[in-house]
Amino acid sequence: MNTRLVVAVLALAGAGTGFAPLDALAQKRDRDKITREEILNSGQKDRDLLVVIRGLRPHFVAPPRGVRSMSGGRAAPTALYVNGNKMGDLGMLRQIIATDVFEVRYMDPSKAENEFGIGHSGGAVLVTLVKGLKSGERITPP
């Protein structure tokens, strides 16, 4: 009887691990995106967007790791795009109220340089705002 119980427990444990990759894949997919729902459910929704990003995805605003050059130069700062328009550096996030945001996406340096060209070696943060929508209109993320 004990052997059957052990086999049953091991079988159930093995079956449960089959679901882990799906959860891990979902977490990896959302690693570079913050949704409006996530912002509204956070305890910092009434703060500026920089504070919210630091709380939810600190890697969005951290300088890229491992960027070095022979001359000791620094990597370009992370670029900020709001509704598709380049807005400068991440300091501008202090001027955006988190509840006005539909979505925030992070692009690592290689993706940002492929998408926007040279000068994005610090990556990019893409913000899509809710403001300016007509009633019932949906935003198409960039």
Give domain limits for the chain: 1-30, 33-129
**pLDDT 10s digits, 39-94:** 999 988 899 999 999 999 999 998 766 655 555 556 678 999 999 999 988 999 99
Three-state SS sequence of 46-82 = CCEHHHHHHHHCHHHCCCCCCCCCCCCCCCCCCEEEE
* Region of poorest pLDDT, from 1-10, 43-52, 128-137: 1-10
Would you say residue 8 has pLDDT above 70? Answer: no
Gap between the Cα atoms of 90 and 61, Å rounded: 7
105 or 24, greater pLDDT: 105
SS3 content of the chain, % helix, strand, coil (to 5): 45, 20, 35
